Amino acid sequence: MLTPAQVASPLAAIPYDLRHACVSFWLRSGVSLAETTRRAGQSVAVLQRYYAKVLDDKQAKMNALIEQGLAEHEGEDEGP
């Protein structure tokens, strides 16, 4: 429990800032929402509400992953 003076200190925000940076880093690194929620102890809905902006520029990467998966699946269908 923090004292009123500790709460007023700029250092009081650091644990939250570090947690936010960690969750943001996991998401930007490609860790799934499910795994990030497990590690962060939050629901998917909360992560999507507060961290969606972290994933906004990932559309091209996600499209590339989908295309890669489709290419791999097509290769499986050709068979010997």
pTM of the model: 0.60
More confident residue, 1 or 43: 43
pLDDT on residue 80: 57
Spatial CA neighbour of 33 closest among 57, 51, 59, 15: 51
> Is the separation of the CB atoms in 6 and 12 below 8 Å?
yes
Supply 3's token pair. Answer: 């004292």
78 pLDDT above the threshold of 70: no
More confident residue, 55 or 67: 67
